[in-house]
Amino acid sequence: MSALQPHAAPTAVATPAETPPGVPPYAPTVPSAVPSAPGTPQAEPTPPQPIPSPTVAPQPFTVSANRLIYYSDIDLVTGEDAVRVSLDDGTTITGAYFAMNLKLNRFIVAGGVELSYPGGHLSGAAFTRFMDFSRAYFVPVTDQPDRWTFVGSDYAHPLRGRDMPGDTFYLPEVTHRHVFLYAKTARFVPKSSAFFQGVRLSQLGTFIPIPSFFLSYSRNPNFSQNSLAGAYIDDPFPFAGSTNSLETAHLRYDNINKLYASYEQHLVTDRSYLVASINPLTRPQRQYNLTASDLLGNNFQLLTFAQESAFQQWFQQPLSASGYLYGTATAALHNSYLQLHGDWYYQSLLAQPRPGVNGLLYYGDPTHPWLPDHPSDGQLTWSGFDHRLSRHLPLEFRLRSGYGVAHDPYAALAFLNNTFYDTLWFHYVGINAYTPSIKLGKTLVFNAVADKQRQWFSAPHHIDTTSTTFSLSRVFGPKAAVYAAYQLQNVGDFFGAQQLIAYPPGSAGAYNGAGQFVPVPFPDYAAFRGFSTQRGFVEGFSFTPNPYFQTSLTMRENHDWPAPIAPSSLYGLTGRPPLELDGDVRLRVNRTTSVDIGRSYYFGFGDLRWSPQFSIRVGP
């Protein structure tokens, strides 16, 4: 029996329509690494058989090799030496080299290929499978070069001489590509994930051994949800998962907790997600977070977030625990939507302890006090979509309104005329108006945005907020841009005839023991009556020479009333510095990691020159 013949008797070959008489089949060059076998007799043609239907969805498969390599910048996995591909239908393909393009959803095995399937065996030089089309292509070892096509998993009935894609047996070039990890085995779920085992992962210029690494390349956007609080450095290690789940350990760093570990769990579908996390996992002061969303139909969505902040040694009884919960329901309407939102805060989730020293209520020691306070609030809002004011006038607007309540049984939300308000009802209306981008000449672009809102409270007052921004920008090709903007915001808290009761006049100063008048250090706040104005001029420059580097500079000139209070040994910072320069540099290390470094200079604002520290973030 020849090497090309399946152990089961061959049946279907190319029909006359597939290989016209007198036209030889397409004959590519067999790779030199795999010698041909001249003199091997070919199988006799037999009448064609019905072509089986392709599978509905690509099936998972497993790959092992002496060395599997994942190149993160091009979404490519290769395997070298002792390659073995095991398909879920019982088929195995062995060879010297493997490559899979995760985006194209196809793989190739080349060099001394042995194809074994239930009921037969074939030898060849290369095997390629296009999983999206349920097609496989094969270079058999015969006395005459040939290419075969397999439909579905029917390897016993090759279709010979058919046209194939031009890059069917293309071997990718990986020189100078970034190696993200090495592994021994990988389990692939097409269009979804790859689960590597026996891994050495690239970290800070070296490779560290870890048991496993789960790579999710699903297009489902719900995998991108995050429930972890911010950190300067975040290094994720997804160690397990599936089509609908992802388990990730995180190595993180911030100024408070220093170096610590966290854990995050994802459960997703096409219309919902649930993300849970413990952060930090290795510090006594930690947070338990849960975020969930469900899209019910095309017009209604539920979203919730729950958090418990606890001080506990590992998972023992906590010395303190507080909680926060919010829920949102959103319903789409015609050209608008409704949203119902609620917040609940719980200062102490634990039962009231027995009185301790001096009758204080605490857990363990007075640094963990029991606080019964649990404020809550809720509101129903309506938001309109964008509308054009006039066909001839470049101005668009969007309306909004809402009604809500805030309640705190243990603390006053407002105090006026010797009356404490533990419940406040409020409602508001607002409008946002803006111009589309307007070209001035050939290079400049003008934008204007204005926003106005009035909010009324059950305590007799209302707050008006008005903000306006005008900006000019210019882009220099795809790499650089400059812009300038003028911003103005006015906030007024109106109490009418009771204005001086709500905001009583402050003293301008006092006489010292020597009879000298000493003015207050911050006269603006002594004159403050509930009305403030912020003015700012912003100039910015951004430069992106390539996808791996971006830098920006932003100058902010602020002229506010009340004037800001400069930081000193006696006072903390209040308000915005009059002059501020912000710098930021963003470096893309590889496909999955970037570093962002920023710092600000305040031009002699009190005791403050440079911002206290650099802002450094490492993450996706």
pLDDT at 35 over 50: no
Tell me the chain's radius of gyration from C-alpha atoms.
34
Single out the residue of 303, 279, 268, 275 nearest to residue 290, CA to CA: 275
- Of 15-19, 392-396, 605-609, the range with the lowest mean pLDDT is 15-19
Q: How many CA atoms lie within 13 A of 327 on its CB side?
A: 5
- Tell me the pLDDT tens digit for each residue of 508-560: 767 677 777 667 777 888 888 999 999 999 999 999 998 889 999 999 999 99
pLDDT of residue 358: 83
Query: Binning pLDDT at 50, 70 and 90, where does residue 166 land?
Result: confident
- Tell me the pLDDT tens digit for each residue of 533-543: 999 999 999 99
DSSP string, 461-492: EEEEEEEEEEEEEEEETTTEEEEEEEEEEEEE
pLDDT of residue 249: 94
Mean pLDDT within 82-105? 92
pLDDT of residue 525: 83
Domain limits of the chain? 1-200, 218-374
pLDDT at 45 over 60: no
- Tell me the pLDDT tens digit for each residue of 184-218: 999 999 888 999 999 999 987 889 999 999 999 88
Query: Binning pLDDT at 50, 70 and 90, where does residue 441 land?
Result: confident
- Between 605 and 250, where is the model more confident? 250
- Of 18-22, 66-70, 171-175, the range with the lowest mean pLDDT is 18-22
Question: Rounded to an integer, what distance in angstroms lies between the CA atom of residue 391 and that of residue 169?
Answer: 57
Mean pLDDT across the chain: 84
CB atoms within 10 A of CB 438: 11
What's the predicted TM-score (pTM) here?
0.71
- Of 122-126, 143-147, 300-304, 492-496, the range with the lowest mean pLDDT is 143-147
pLDDT of residue 49: 44
pLDDT of residue 34: 35
pLDDT of residue 305: 96
Mean pLDDT within 329-350? 93
- Of 4-13, 303-312, 337-346, 495-504, the range with the lowest mean pLDDT is 4-13
pLDDT at 370 over 90: no
State whether residue 499 is helix, strand or coil: helix
Query: Binning pLDDT at 50, 70 and 90, where does residue 491 land?
Result: very high
pLDDT at 1 over 70: no
pLDDT at 38 over 60: no
Query: What stretches of 204-284 adopt beta strand conformation (E)?
Result: 206-216, 233-242, 245-254, 258-268, 272-279
Contact present, 159 and 48 (Cβ < 8 Å): no
Query: Binning pLDDT at 50, 70 and 90, where does residue 477 land?
Result: confident
Question: Rounded to an integer, what distance in angstroms lies between the CA atom of residue 26 and that of residue 162?
Answer: 7
Please give the share of the chain, as a percent, with pLDDT higher than 70: 88
pLDDT of residue 619: 64
Contact present, 400 and 382 (Cβ < 8 Å): yes
pLDDT of residue 457: 93
| Residue labelled with tokens 């496989």 | 136
CB atoms within 10 A of CB 97: 20
| Residue labelled with tokens 């969007």 | 398
pLDDT at 17 over 60: no
Query: What stretches of 547-606 adopt beta strand conformation (E)?
Result: 549-561, 579-588, 594-605
